[in-house]
Chains A and B, each alone.
Chain A
Amino acid sequence: MARWGMVIDLDRCNGCGGCMAACHKENNLAAVGADETVGMDRAFHWLKILPEVSGSGAEAEVRHVPHMCVQCDNPPCIRVCPVHATYLGEEGIVGQVYSRCIGCRYCMAACPYNAKVFNWYEPEWPGDLKKAANPDVSLRPKGVVEKCTFCHHRVVRAREEARAAGRPIADGEVTTACAETCPTKAITFGDLDDPDSRVRRLSRSSRAFRPHADLGTEPKVFYLAKKE
């Protein structure tokens, strides 16, 4: 059984935002609109590009850090959910059952990565935009929490195709929308338990680190630090 993980090479990321746009489109993230964004800061993204600035003036250096749910192996969010709406799947993806979520937002408070977002409003799809929704990803109603799923629907499809063909999922056969879109190939997705997978090799690089690893959450998103 696979254990899905991701490696993000911060030396390669140029902050273009393509991953963010791809995530929005792939996962049917509704726009909350101008008033809610500007006045109430309620816009949400499953994937954000965090700017990290060091130095100042002409010496300032900006690094872009793509940030999403890090799919903890020991996720604090599932411990606090009173209705078991969030859970750790067999393959290591932290899932969210929208129909079970009661919108208490305890999980959001517990997440040390600020990775979960809340639907404050009934999503609106102006014009024909609803027709453009990805049929593999359910639309979320008002009042539920959501987050990055590692494009779980793609994993499911790849697993079914592999099962029908009587073979295991090959390395690189399934990837997330953000990784697929990245023009600099900064994001790598794959099976961390596959000894031959690229993601496993990169995750064991001397440059690899996990965000807030000291918290014991065992994230499965690794970053590759700046090359010296």
Chain B
Amino acid sequence: MTGAAAAPTLEEDPVAALAEGVLDGSRPLEALFVVDCDPLHTSPAGGLLREALDRIPLVVSMTPFRDETAAAAGFVLPSPVFLEAWQATTTPAGVPFSVLGLGEPVVDPPLFDTRHPADVLLELARHLGGNSAAALPWEGYDAYLKHRLEGLAVSGQGAVISSSFEESWVHYMEERGWRFSKRRDTDDFYRELAEQAAWWNPVRGTGNWERLFRTPSGRFEFYSQNLARRLQRLGAGSDAEAFSRGAASLGLAAPVDEACLPHFEPPSGEGEGDLWLSVFRPITARGRLGIASPMVLEMFGYPFLDGWRTWAEIAPETAHELHLEDGDEVQVRSERGEVEAVVMIRPGTSPGIVHLPAGLGHREHVGAAGGIGANPLDLVADVRDPLSGAWSPNATRVTLRLLRRRDHGGPPPAHGGHG
């Protein structure tokens, strides 16, 4: 991977854009604060970012875990885990109404000498003074959260979740068009929200459709006006010709007219190899806490009764073609690198695809996970989705090479006994 920009895209992958900007000098940074994430391990642009970090004078990682980004940082400021800090969660994707969760720390004070990243940044702003101090005047993270919730409190919309009979009735009435003014005192609202842990607004506002649907028809349209405007900007104009120029410059496979409609844009595969690589994140590698635990590593591949290693999931047809069996150790190779994995044959998997789980392959000791398994993102080619700019983790071609046959003396890993 080089610092040169990849094919043009409408949006930028944030990690890649940051790294490329630092490396080509267009976005010089004096300081970088990395808060509770490990982009060196979890982003396909991790290698690029590693190079870029060397050119940033001050890199600070605020994290509860010693991870790869922390190891590459100049300073590590230990932060509390989620059970030790205030946390606010907004509406998850797919939930058809507004929800807000507010969680109090259940371990207070934190077990170790840690500080919440927001508290650190607020204190830094106070010391900097001037505009920074004026922009971030709050004493701490909880004061900031309270400030952000003020608008919600005075709007009178929705309700703190409770099982009270009266509230159920209010919701019942509101769903049928009644409106009740419930302007609340911010302190009372915050206290009640902290006790009950959630607010919701199941009632969708009616009317005001112009604000919701800013489309030529004033109704819902699948055609994305936002995308159309961006394509026009890319084509340096505001007319249909600029739109066509913009769409053509991205090299989209879809006809220009369909560029702003939902459509399948086939990945422009890179590299040589008979198989496509598909990287997925198993449920055992979600979140930051899990993978640091030996217990989670032990059940990392639990659908196959396997743990502590990276597996390559392939279809029976693919296994037959390549003369591979369950449990064989293979090398998965792309133009960018190679990793080792154990074959798991899974009926229902599409033939011609190798699925590799992300989450392992830490170079540093993240809890118990250091040096365990492989990181399939090391294989991912620099192919980006032309519209979203996101890296295409499924656009890399790979080959499988047998390293070692499974030892037939023991039980097969997918149905292993425990004797």
A contacts, CB < 8 Å to B = 15-17, 20-21, 24-25, 29, 31-34, 37-38, 40-45, 48-51, 53, 55-58, 60-62, 64, 105, 108-109, 114, 116-118, 126-127, 129
Contact = CB atoms under 8 A, between A and B. Distances in A.
Given A17-B303, A34-B297, A37-B307, 6 more contacts: A17-B299, A20-B302, A31-B298, A53-B348, A62-B348, A126-B294
A41 B416 contact: yes
A118 B297 contact: no
Contacts of A55: 347-348
B295 A34 contact: no
B368 interface: yes
B347 A20 contact: no
A112 to B, nearest CB: 13
A81 B294 CA distance: 32
B296 interface: yes
A37 B308 contact: yes
A187 to B, nearest CB: 16
A25 B290 CA distance: 12
Contacts, number: 96
Interface of B: 283-284, 293-299, 302-309, 315-317, 346-348, 351, 367-368, 372, 410-411, 413-414, 416-419
A111 to B, nearest CB: 10
A34 B348 contact: no
A34 B372 contact: yes
5 contacts: A31-B294, A41-B418, A51-B304, A57-B317, A61-B348
A34 B284 contact: no
A48 B284 CA distance: 14
Contacts of B351: 57
Given A21-B295, A34-B308, A56 B348 contact: yes
Contacts of A20: 299, 302
A109 B316 CA distance: 32
Contacts of B411: 41
B348 A60 contact: yes
Contacts of A15: 303
A9 to B, nearest CB: 19
Residue with the highest number of chain B CB atoms closer than 10 Å, among A40, A45, A61, A64: A45
A129 B367 CA distance: 11
A48 B305 contact: yes
B297 A31 contact: yes
A55 to B, nearest CB: 7
A24 B316 contact: no
Nearest to A131: B111
Contact of B303 (A24, A40, A49, A127): A49
A53 B299 CA distance: 20
Contacts of B418: 41-44, 108, 114, 116-118
B83 to A, nearest CB: 12
A25 B295 contact: yes
A29 B303 contact: no
Given A33-B294, A34-B372, A41-B410, A17 B283 contact: yes
Residue with the highest number of chain B CB atoms closer than 10 Å, among A38, A118, A127: A38
B307 A24 contact: no
